[in-house]
């Protein structure tokens, strides 16, 4: 009837009694570690801005905060059972976005040598490219991070922290920076070789299957 309310009392009762949609098991959801990881990603442009603007003390403090958050979200996820599928993809993505962005910015500002930037960035491009290629040929590969890769990430973060601290606070860390830079280079190359060997082994085994 004209002028009658859109919802009658019966309709309102039915709507109120409808069950709410619940999240399906396994559906990605934000946990506390996920939120911390997202915060680390949001810090990246701020750190880049600080480095580009010559505010290396601020950049050091922000980068140190981001590095600490990396350990905190991992601890919370393992200690309190907060691991999620989303976190498994988000955490390494945050690490790569942070490291690549900082190294590229430090290279552009001539704080670290260009060859190191090229080495670090090329490694990630090669790994991502290999994974995409395996998908394109319908032979997806699941690459698990090995100990060398974890050590490499730790060394890259440590080197960036030392560089920012050295330039930001005027601390002479010449010999230490040289040693850690060499360690980053060696671990990066070794990590690429291990990932490449794993990828080739996977592709060959896929071809051998009937």
Domains observed in the chain = 29-208 (1.20.120.1760)
d(CA 72, CA 4): 58
Predicted pLDDT at 85:
84
Q: Confirm if 183 and 155 have CB atoms less than 8 A apart.
A: yes
> What band does 20 get if pLDDT is binned at 50, 70 and 90?
very low
User: Does the pLDDT value for residue 170 go beyond 80?
Assistant: yes
Indicate the pTM of the whole model. Answer: 0.80
Whether residue 164 has pLDDT greater than 90: yes
C-alpha to C-alpha distance for 105 and 49, rounded to whole angstroms: 9
CB contact at 8 A, 112 and 173: no
99, 155 Cβ separation under 8 angstroms: no
Tens-digit pLDDT profile for residues 1-12: 444 443 344 444
Tokens encoding 70: 């990396």
pLDDT class for 204, splitting at 50, 70, 90? Answer: confident
Q: What does the alpha-carbon distance between residue 116 and residue 206 come to, in Å, rounded to a whole number?
A: 34
The arithmetic mean of pLDDT across residues 124-148, rounded, is 84
């Amino acid at each position: 009837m004209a002028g009658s309310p859109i919802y009658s009392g019966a309709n309102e009762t039915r709507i109120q009694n409808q069950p709410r949609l619940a999240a399906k098991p396994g559906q990605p959801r934000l946990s506390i570690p996920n939120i911390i990881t997202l915060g680390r990603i949001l810090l990246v442009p701020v750190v880049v801005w600080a480095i580009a603007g010559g505010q290396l003390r601020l950049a050091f403090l922000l980068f140190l905060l981001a590095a600490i958050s990396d350990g905190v979200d991992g601890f919370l996820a393992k200690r309190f059972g907060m691991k999620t599928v989303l976190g498994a993809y988000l955490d390494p993505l945050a690490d790569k976005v942070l490291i690549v962005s900082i190294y590229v910015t430090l290279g552009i500002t001539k704080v670290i040598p260009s060859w190191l930037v090229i080495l670090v960035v090329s490694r990630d491009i090669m790994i991502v490219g290999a994974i995409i290629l395996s998908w394109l040929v319908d032979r997806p590969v699941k690459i698990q991070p090995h100990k060398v890769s974890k050590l490499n990430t730790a060394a890259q973060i440590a080197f960036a922290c030392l560089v920012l601290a050295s330039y930001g606070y005027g601390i002479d860390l010449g010999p230490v920076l040289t040693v850690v830079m060499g360690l980053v280079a060696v671990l990066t190359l070794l990590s690429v070789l291990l990932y490449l060997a794993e990828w080739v082994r996977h592709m060959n085994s896929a071809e051998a299957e009937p």
